[in-house]
Amino acid sequence: MVPEGKYVVTSNGNSQTQIFLPGSNYKLDLRSNNFLSYEVSKTASANGEVVINVTAKGNGKHVFNIRTDNLSLTSNQKEMSLKQGGAQSFEWRGRITSDDTPWVAVVVPDGEINERKEVRGAGWEK
pLDDT in tens, the chain (126 residues): 788 998 888 877 777 787 888 888 887 777 777 778 899 999 988 787 999 999 999 888 999 999 999 999 989 999 999 988 789 999 999 999 998 999 999 999 999 888 899 999 998 886
Backbone φ, ψ for residue 89 (5° rounding): -135, 155
Q: 2.60.40.1460, 1.20.120.1200, 3.40.1710.10, 2.60.40.10: which CATH number matches 35-121? A: 2.60.40.1460
pTM of the model: 0.82
Backbone φ, ψ for residue 58 (5° rounding): 150, -150
